[in-house]
Chains A and B, each alone.
Chain A
Amino acid sequence: MSVRDDVLVVEDASYAYLGRFPALDKVSLRVGRAERVALLGANGCGKSTLLKVLDGLVFPDDGRYAAFGEDITEERLEDQQLNAGFRSRIGFIFQNSDAQVFSPTVRDEIAFGPLNMGMAHDQVEARVADTLGMLGIADLADRAPYQLSGGQKKRVAIASVLVMNPEVLLFDEPTAALDPRTQQWLMELIVELGRAGKTIVLATHDLASLETLAERCVVLGEDHRIVADGSTHDILTDRDLLLAVNLIHEHAHSHGALAHTHEHDATHHDPTDH
């Protein structure tokens, strides 16, 4: 991939919470335009922190981060024009929808981003109506967040980001704690957004949905470093790698007199696998 296609570039980024608890250790990552990339890793390996770095919410202690050819630092984001441009081009869907859906009503929530971008009120209203319709939540427009189910909150959180029409979408554990129907809906949406030319980076340890969601996988180890970067198929077939980074585990069990050992991931159990 040529350098000019890279929309997000992280070079040797390290970050430690409170300066003591490491979350990233010399992580380098390049994400090309319209790529669908999955960040894989066990709990606590630094996936969410890396997403926050990509969204300019936390800044590396060491190393560099650039988006759309601009260096992103805390000082540079104080420039209002750069800040508005960067924020409107990258959208982040948090794992905890309760943190993301903070406005009094769904309509207010979806309007929050475009209003902060300085869009005219009538244009915001038209966009909000379109987004509500697109995600099938028009009937929730005047509801308060505490009246919504987990799946509905996730839809509202996605709507609140999509309404800004960002070029890059960051998803933190998109399918976690969702019912199967909402999971399927979300996976189809992510694929559709990818086809529409959006760059997608998602953090997950759900291997079952990975081949649908991403074409490339970046694997973070429990030492907070990147241990592998390759096509989804190559990563998923590398059993030793997945065992080493704690994404699958060996599971010993017996069928009558026959005992054997094979691997399981945390979310998927195929009954024909036996």
Chain B
Amino acid sequence: MSTAPGAIAPDWLVRSEVGLCPCGCVGRRRKGSFVEKTLTGAADVMHQAMFGDEIAAGPGLLQRLDARVKVLTLLGLLVVAALAHTTAVLLGLYAVTFLMAWSSGLRLSFFVKRVWLFIPVFTGLVVLPATLNIITPGQIVVPLGNWWFGHTIGLTSQGLQSAALIVTRVAVSISIVVLLTLTTPWPRLMGALRALRIPRLFIQVISMAYRYILHLLGSVEEMYVARRSRTVNPSTDLKAGRAFVSATAGALFGKAHHLSEEVHQAMVSRGYSGDARAIDSFRLGALEIAWTAACVVTACAVLGVDRVIR
């Protein structure tokens, strides 16, 4: 062992120690702590972001479109979905989003899962009370008993129709947004927003936040792995977990502060003086024109049929 001049390694350091039971017996298994689960989730997010661009770089229809045209046309379809008042028409528009997903090479099961994962949690809970006759009066189709000062409580036909309309509208809207985000690389999406006159500084802040969240997430993962590699007795103790989280948060805050200072210096060094500038390169070819025409026809058809059957 090499030591600095004058330094003598203590006895315990030069003597080998048996870390594990020499009989090789198997100990009690412990499950990971909440910290481990949270960090595994965060690491998954990071890996998804890193490799999610594979879908966006695919050869599908939406991927080949100019990001600016795509943002504008899909925004238009979002407005159309908000203006439609019949569930049947919205279901028709929902079918169109499936067609778009299929033509862009997305796995339909993945696409459906991505959209319907949050609808029951967020929209379902909100619209549930509206299905009851105490909120939406009407013809009770599913009676739930006499709980309201002797009055019958139940799901009304009008309430269910309203709920179906809202849920379908939300599903269509989320589908359109998911299509946009899955088929457009993040930098191009930011570039498209920039071209649509969203303030450049705002876009720059979002872009840098996204860039450095991934970087700092990597640091957290490294800190946890470093700690785990030195942990002999894994503990699921909540107190130890909380102590680690607070220590990591503190270290990360310092790291983020130092990094932000360096990033600012790197920007100033290359002439940054508060005005965000960037190059925007967009193409407008036959595909974009055909796509825009198809979206306009779809929008007119949806609004026209909606007006007729309403």
A-side residues, CB < 8 A to B, are 52, 55, 57, 80, 83-84, 87-88, 90-92, 94, 96, 98-100, 102-105, 107-108, 111-113, 115-117, 121, 124-125, 128, 142, 144-147, 160-161, 164, 250-253
23 of the cross-chain contacts (CB-CB < 8 Å) are A55-B269, A87-B269, A94-B262, A94-B266, A99-B262, A100-B266, A102-B263, A102-B266, A104-B210, A108-B278, A112-B267, A116-B270, A117-B271, A121-B279, A125-B279, A128-B279, A142-B187, A144-B185, A146-B49, A146-B215, A164-B270, A164-B271, A250-B5
Known contacts A104-B187, A145-B211, A146-B50; A160/B279 CB under 8 A: no
B78 at the interface (CB under 8 A from A): no
Q: What 0/1 readout, one digit per residue, does chain B (34-73) give for beta carbons within 8 Å of chain A?
A: 0000000000000001100100000000000000000000
Query: Which of B191, B215, B265, B270 has the most A CB atoms < 10 Å from its CB?
Result: B270
Majority-rule SS of B interface residues: helix
B279 touching A124 by the CB < 8 A rule? Answer: yes
Give how many B residues have a beta carbon under 8 Å from the other chain's beta carbons: 34
A84 touching B271 by the CB < 8 A rule? Answer: yes
> Which residue from chain A places its CB closest to the CB of B218 in the assembled complex?
A146
> Which residue from chain A places its CB closest to the CB of B4 in the assembled complex?
A249
A99 touching B50 by the CB < 8 A rule? Answer: no
> Which residue from chain B places its CB closest to the CB of A80 in the assembled complex?
B273
Checking A57, A117, A251 against B269 with a beta-carbon cut-off of 8 angstroms, the contacting residue is A57
Checking A99, A108, A164 against B259 with a beta-carbon cut-off of 8 angstroms, the contacting residue is A99
Known contacts A102-B267, A125-B279, A146-B215; A83/B262 CB under 8 A: no
B61–chain A nearest beta-carbon distance, Å:
19
B208 at the interface (CB under 8 A from A): yes
Measured CA separation A181–B199 after assembly (Å):
42
B279 touching A107 by the CB < 8 A rule? Answer: yes
Chain A contacts for B271, CB-based, 8 A: 83-84, 87-88, 113, 116-117, 164
Chain B contacts for A100, CB-based, 8 A: 263, 266
Measured CA separation A250–B4 after assembly (Å):
9
Measured CA separation A251–B269 after assembly (Å):
41
Measured CA separation A143–B144 after assembly (Å):
57
A83 touching B273 by the CB < 8 A rule? Answer: yes
B224 at the interface (CB under 8 A from A): no
Chain B contacts for A94, CB-based, 8 A: 262, 265-266
Known contacts A98-B215, A103-B207, A121-B279; A144/B259 CB under 8 A: no
A147 touching B50 by the CB < 8 A rule? Answer: yes
B277 at the interface (CB under 8 A from A): yes
A125 touching B281 by the CB < 8 A rule? Answer: yes
B263 touching A99 by the CB < 8 A rule? Answer: yes
Chain B contacts for A88, CB-based, 8 A: 271
Checking A87, A128, A144 against B270 with a beta-carbon cut-off of 8 angstroms, the contacting residue is A87
> Which residue from chain B places its CB closest to the CB of A164 in the assembled complex?
B270
Chain B contacts for A105, CB-based, 8 A: 187
Known contacts A88-B271, A104-B207, A116-B270; A144/B187 CB under 8 A: yes
